Amino acid sequence: MGQEVPLLNEYKRDFFWKRFPQTLLGGPKLKLGFSAPAYVYINQLTLFLLPWLLGGLFTIVVELDVLQAYIAYYVYGACMVIYVLAAQLISLIIQRRVDTVAAFQNTNVLAEEDEVEFDSCCGYETFQYVVPLKRWKINILLHGLVSGLMGGLGFWYLLPSVLNPLFNNIGATVMIYTFGWLTLCIAQYPLSTGSPPEPASFRAIDNLEVLPLLRPCYVLICLLVHLAWSFSPSSLLLTNQIMHVVFIFLPVLWCLGVLPPLDALVLWLMEQTLVHFLGGSPMAGDLRSFLMFVTSVIIAVITYFLPTSLATIVFSACFGYILSLDLSILANQVIAFIKQCVKKPTNHSPSHKKKSSPDPAADETDDKLKAMGLGWTFGWRELLINTCMVLVVGAISGVCTHFSSSAPSSVVRGLGYAIIGLMVIVKILGDCQKVFVFWGLLRNKLYPDSISSTQKYSKRKRKLHRLGFIKRFVLDLVCPFVMEAYLGLIVAYAGLTLPSFWFAVGAVYSFRRIWQHTSSSLLDVSILHVLLELNVYGSTTYVSWWPTDYGLQLIFIGLLHSWISQTLHKVYCYLTILITSYTIEKQRRKSSLPLIIISILLFPIVIATIMASSILSAPILPLFTLPIMLIGFPRPLRLWPGAVGAAANVCADTVYYKQLEKSLRGVIRRAVAAGSLGELAPGSFLLLRFQDRMAWLQVLECGYGFITISLKGMELQETSCHTVEAARLDDIFEAAFTHPKEKFPVFSLNQFPMHTLTPVDAQPVDTYSDARNVLTGIIDSPDTLELVDSCFIKTLVWLLMRHNCAKRKDLPTPSSTNSGSNIGNFKESGSVSSRTRLVQTKRVVSVSEDSGRAESIESKPMSSQVKKQQQPKRKSLVGSWHSLDSWDDDPLELDVMNSKPKLNSSAKKNEGQVLKEPAGLPGAISDISDDEVDDILNEFEFGLPAVDIHAPKKTAAATKNIPFTQRTINLNASAQFSSPHSSKLSLPLKWREIPIDQNLLAPLLQKFPLDWYKHVIAQLGIESSKSPEDIAAEIGSDEALTTMYANLVMACYGIVNVFGLDGMSAVGAGASHVYKVYSGDIPWSMNQEWLTSDEELHVIVLQAYRFAFKLAYDQTVLGEASDLDEIVEYLQEYESDWYMGRDTDVAWSEAVESNKPRLFSLIYDTNENTYNGRVLSRQPVVVHIGQLNSEMVRSLWSSLSLELFYFTNDDEERYSIQAHPVILRNLTVQAADPPLGYPIYASKPISIPTW
């Protein structure tokens, strides 16, 4: 950052001094930043001080015994209600009367964004600025009632006659009275106007207007304590005195943001009660937290009313196991089943005809999860296992409780020492899986030395996985039952009197925690046994405040365990920020060294601050990421409100993390089961690094046999801030997993011990590897361009024939004779008896005014080769039926249907028409579409209209004055195939009419690869009684089908590579032409619209061109194909394993989601003026996994809202996103939920079984 860069520049300082007084005083805007009339300030001060002025007046009246105190309470409270209602109603009336259009017209367009022009003291702008309207009108009444309640109780709370007996000190009375009324005015002002900027902001938008109630809520808490003191003065005297002192310091706490908003407060209280008193886990969502809290409370209440200690312990043990399971899976399945039952099938839905799932995608997902193994869904296996487990748990706890009074002490002591031994074994086996041991300081010698050798690494990891399996078996199936037996023997102590509330709470907590947090419970029960040994079997006695109930002792031990763990992490966080503020040159400032000295001198205060935040389970807040620590407000452990994964900055790269999520589940399961990721608990964070991507894993919830996580994806484009931190991550992982001498020394220290990230494991994950190659020198090579040009024809033949074959494979094949009046005769062999008629040459004439020229313009003659091919062909009229069912249609309709518009020409009737020989259609046709019927009828000349053969023929003289004649190709005539199997490859009707001048297409027909065409036919595998070779030879010799494909293929080829290039060849057009066509930008020509308007054909042509480029590229790099079979192998691989297109298309994202093995895209870099090829290959990619310091993450996240409210603006970059290579400030901020952060992907809660 540099020493000369200020934390707050001039603009930000002005911005801060405008906002801070609003927060301090509850909303009055005393520094506006622009010139404003004096009445604006006077109005705000009047609204602010009026409650104090009225309160002072009523105080004098009461103290002079003019009015009784209790009457003054009610009157003053009513005045406050009227005060709030009057302020809002007057503002509402004035603002409704004013013409907003006129107000808009009076606005100064040259003023600052937040500048307001005021007209008068009681004008529209003044009231809109001073007393803004509530969003919800009901809140006017609600806030008025709260103001009245707070005003009445506050008036009584601050009466000198009440304060004097409480403190017996005039000075204290004066101080509390003065600052107490200031606190009351600060809390009341938001109720009259609107909420001020609050440092303690939990939600981005306050839709329900809850923030104005934040300050009154905490005032009412102090007032209610005073009200309770009035009923019990002796027992609550000290508490009431403390609350009075806290009352006058409430403005300071509000400014520091220590007191949480109401919604965060409620969620935090539920979570703390659930975790520390009911033995549960923090939950992954608000609804889940509420439901689990209510269920746990109900279980505790039922336990309280059970008549015997045996019933209490057995009931607590059984439900402790049940509640520790992943019940969300069962709940989701039940909800899905109910939705499936409620959803009624309609007459048009497939489920009405046959039984089918209403959500095939959901069924497919369930099948995949079931295939992954046990625990992903709640099926009969899981039900059977859990039922047996509940019976075993109940039996062990019941038997041990029953014999607890008669069991010898040696059994209890033996079980206690066994638990301590199991804890040590689990710890050792877990540390064997990790890269670093002893709190991340020493390199684990058992871990593979280098990941560069995949074979050695996998071999060593398999050995470690065996140790991990032993660890998981001991932790999941041995430790809980041993602790169950131990607690069953000691929890039901002698002299217990039922019902006992604390005994019920202790039992529920103890017997649930051993399943919910087995590894943590091992330490807690071990400490409990040590205390038991010191007290019962030794001479040590408990302190007076330590409970005798063992369940309560476990609760106390759990609280101390949590607080100490948080304190150690926060001290580590503080020391890291303190040291790096001086050791990193870019973070060093002139104030760094003085801050370090002050921190050393005030270290006890710093430790006290950290311990206070740990007791509150609140994050510490480093101001500007400097070693200046504040206490953040308490909030749920997941830190963010709303549903997990509901918000993300979705972009084109989001799909890669969406695909990664599916592959990552199994990897995380194996790693957690083996223990290589450490003992993950709710609130833990993992960072995944692979290639140019980074993913963020947050542990939301955990229990017996499962863990719930959330995955967040970081943007792939690495900015300068990203690059610094990403480079440091790469250095850390390389130092941890790769040693230059292939083996680490026996004692190898962590090179980055003070870093927020500690490497824990490296796992292969089935995801996409992204490779980019510069194609300069290849794509612009003439040889490559010629190869692309020739390959395009081959790939187009390949795709068109395979497309038509797949589309028509279910259609009937003419193999029998069928005669009738309207159906012609076939030969017994099944072939068409009449001669093949394919190409009809139309004379499409454009009529214009007579130019005065005597000569006529005739079409150029075709080449001799084309004439030779078309000599046996006759002209014919296209005939087709609109519908087989429309026998009574208008007879003129057939003529209308035949007059289809032609592109780039004006249609006229044909000059010559020849009557066609009718042919029969063998076989029956059923269950096919009208288009398919039309195709078949046209192929076999069925249903042709009558032609007047006696009509006089037009002579050349009749067309003498026509200025232009275009000879187009019409393949829409009936085709007579020489092979009965040719119909399976016949073109659809819409592709047989090509509006291209035959003279333009004729030279291109010479390029048609006949040998390749026949070779492709041999690869289609058409089913028949004959051998594939005979069928291929028979179809390949069919002149009609060959002519069809030759004209269509070369027409598409001409539109792409010839007609739109202004006389240039495709090679001469260069690499830019290849890139444009690959990207879907076909050169414009008069015939282009015919291709682009047909979506089906357009897609095939684009795919063929992309295949052609990839085929040419592969042959250029790997060598040309030796024969046609090798080209077939290439194309078969492209079709099955590749997606080719643009990486910005939706289809690209769909291919990634469907796990396409490989993807290819051609990219043009405008900055470098180079062409690049991007290849995504789905393969096992080594993902480096590191564990982050959870308190560092929570600290940085908690500072974001404070910074955005006071220390930043929209025009300048936030300081919090500046790079910090040790604490990873930029990446941590990016991983925050929007709008404070900007992850490009955020998953919903993912439950992963760890069995």
| pLDDT: which is higher, 95 or 967 | 95
CA dihedral (93, 94, 97, 99) in degrees, to 10, reads: -140
Please give the Cα distance from 1200 to 624 (Å, whole number).
10
Per-residue pLDDT band for 136 (boundaries 50, 70, 90) equals confident
**What is the dihedral sign for C-alpha 228, 231, 235, 241?**
positive
Q: Which residues of 521-548 are buried (b: 16+ CB within 10 A; e: fewer)?
A: bbbbbbbbbebbeeeeeeeeeeeeeeee
Both tokens of residue 1184? 């480096």
Both tokens of residue 462? 């398999």
What pLDDT, on a 0 to 100 scale, did the predictor assign at position 372? 60
For residue range 558-572, list pLDDT tens digits in order. Answer: 999 999 999 999 999
pLDDT at 851 over 70: no
> Residue 945 has what DSSP assignment?
P
Q: Which residues contact 211 (CB under 8 A, 6 or more apart)?
A: 190, 195, 198, 261
What pLDDT, on a 0 to 100 scale, did the predictor assign at position 191? 93
Q: Which residues contact 1144 (CB under 8 A, 6 or more apart)?
A: 652
Most confident range (mean pLDDT) of 78-82, 725-729, 889-893 is: 78-82
Q: 3-state class of 919 per DSSP?
A: strand
Residue 1151's alpha-carbon distances to 304, 365, 1159, 1160, in angstroms, are 57, 17, 8, 11
- Percent of residues, the chain, with pLDDT higher than 70: 79
pLDDT at 374 over 70: no
What pLDDT, on a 0 to 100 scale, did the predictor assign at position 369? 56
Residue whose C-alpha is closest to residue 1136's, from 1151, 1124, 1120, 1116: 1151
| pLDDT: which is higher, 585 or 1188 | 1188
pLDDT at 610 over 90: yes
Per-residue pLDDT band for 999 (boundaries 50, 70, 90) equals confident
> Residue 1175 forms beta bridges with which residues?
771, 1160
Q: 3-state class of 1176 per DSSP?
A: strand
pLDDT at 265 over 70: yes
> Residue 826 has what DSSP assignment?
B
pLDDT at 53 over 60: yes
pLDDT at 112 over 70: no
Give, in degrees to the nearest 5, the angle at Cα 1099 between 1097 and 1100.
Answer: 65
Q: For the residues of 449-504, what is the DSSP string, one character each?
A: S-SSSHHHHHHHHHHHHHHHHHHHHIIIIIHHHHHHHHHHHHSS-TT--SS-HHHH
Instruction: Give the chain's largest Cα–Cα span.
Output: 133
> Residue 436 forms beta bridges with which residues?
443
Residue whose C-alpha is closest to residue 1045's, from 708, 734, 803, 776: 803
What pLDDT, on a 0 to 100 scale, did the predictor assign at position 741? 60
Average pLDDT over residues 1100-1112: 95
What pLDDT, on a 0 to 100 scale, did the predictor assign at position 446? 86
Residue whose C-alpha is closest to residue 138's, from 85, 174, 99: 85
In one letter, which amino acid is 1089? E
Please give the Cα distance from 760 to 676 (Å, whole number).
6
| pLDDT: which is higher, 358 or 997 | 997
CA atoms within 13 A on the CB side of 347: 0
Phi, psi of 919 (to 5 degrees): -130, 155
Give the number of other Cβ atoms within 10 Å of residue 606's Cβ. 21
Please give the Cα distance from 165 to 180 (Å, whole number).
17
Residue whose C-alpha is closest to residue 226's, from 268, 265, 176: 176
Answer left, alpha or beta for residue 688, where phi above 0 means left and psi between -120 and 50 means alpha: beta
Residue 576's alpha-carbon distances to 584, 586, 752, 1215, in angstroms, are 11, 15, 11, 18
Average pLDDT over residues 1058-1069: 86
pLDDT at 881 over 80: no
Residue 208's alpha-carbon distances to 88, 137, 139, 643, 655, in angstroms, are 17, 11, 9, 17, 34
Say whether the peptide bond before residue 499 is cis (omega within 30 degrees of 0): yes
Say whether the peptide bond before residue 861 is cis (omega within 30 degrees of 0): no
Phi, psi of 967 (to 5 degrees): -95, 100
For residue range 22-49, list pLDDT tens digits in order. Answer: 999 998 988 877 777 888 889 899 999 9
Per-residue pLDDT band for 66 (boundaries 50, 70, 90) equals confident
DSSP H helical segments within 986-1027, as ranges?
998-1001, 1010-1019
What pLDDT, on a 0 to 100 scale, did the predictor assign at position 1218? 74
| pLDDT: which is higher, 726 or 873 | 726
DSSP H helical segments within 549-626, as ranges?
550-583, 592-601, 603-615
Average pLDDT over residues 1121-1126: 88
pLDDT at 361 over 80: no
For residue range 150-188, list pLDDT tens digits in order. Answer: 999 999 999 999 999 888 889 999 999 999 999 999 999
Element (H, E) at 713: strand 706-713
Burial of residue 158 (CB within 10 Å: 0-12, 13-18, 19+) is: buried
For residue range 790-800, list pLDDT tens digits in order. Answer: 999 999 999 99
Give the number of other Cβ atoms within 10 Å of residue 229's Cβ. 20
What pLDDT, on a 0 to 100 scale, did the predictor assign at position 538? 66
Both tokens of residue 1127? 């080209």
What pLDDT, on a 0 to 100 scale, did the predictor assign at position 1027? 72
Q: Does residue 1227 contact residue 755 with C-beta atoms inside 8 Å?
A: no
Both tokens of residue 832? 């068409």
Mean pLDDT of the residues in the chain: 80
What pLDDT, on a 0 to 100 scale, did the predictor assign at position 972? 58
Element (H, E) at 782: helix 782-808
| pLDDT: which is higher, 857 or 144 | 144
Q: Give pTM, 2 decimals.
A: 0.81
Q: Does residue 1225 contact residue 1218 with C-beta atoms inside 8 Å?
A: yes
What pLDDT, on a 0 to 100 scale, did the predictor assign at position 824? 33
Residue whose C-alpha is closest to residue 707's, from 729, 733, 678, 736: 678
Average pLDDT over residues 745-764: 86
pLDDT at 998 over 90: no
Q: Which residues of 1022-1054 are buried (b: 16+ CB within 10 A; e: fewer)?
A: beeeeeeeebbebbbebebbbbbbbbbbbbbbb
What pLDDT, on a 0 to 100 scale, did the predictor assign at position 1217? 60
Burial of residue 742 (CB within 10 Å: 0-12, 13-18, 19+) is: exposed
Please give the Cα distance from 871 to 865 (Å, whole number).
10
Beta-strand relationship, 1138-1140 and 1158-1165: parallel
The answer to which of 109-118, 268-277, 293-302, 857-866 has the lowest mean pLDDT is 857-866
In one letter, which amino acid is 301? V
Per-residue pLDDT band for 328 (boundaries 50, 70, 90) equals confident
Average pLDDT over residues 1218-1236: 88
Both tokens of residue 699? 């542990």
Please give the Cα distance from 579 to 583 (Å, whole number).
6
Q: 3-state class of 1138 per DSSP?
A: strand
Both tokens of residue 1237? 């952060």
Most confident range (mean pLDDT) of 333-337, 807-811, 1103-1107 is: 1103-1107
> Residue 749 has what DSSP assignment?
B
pLDDT at 101 over 60: no
Q: Which residues of 298-323 are buried (b: 16+ CB within 10 A; e: fewer)?
A: ebbeebbebeebbebbbbbbbbbbbb
Instruction: Estimate to the nearest angstrom the gap between the alpha carbon of 87 and the chain centroid.
Output: 45
Q: Does residue 189 contact residue 26 with C-beta atoms inside 8 Å?
A: yes
> Residue 958 has what DSSP assignment?
G
Q: For the residues of 224-282, what is the DSSP string, one character each?
A: HHHHHHHH-TTTTHHHHHHHHHHHHTHHHHHHHT-SPPHHHHHHHHHHHHHHHTS----
Please give the Cα distance from 290 to 274 (Å, whole number).
10
Secondary structure in 3-state letters for 858-905 = CCCCCCHHHHHHHCCCCCCCCCCCCCCCCCCCCCCHHHHHHCCCCCCC
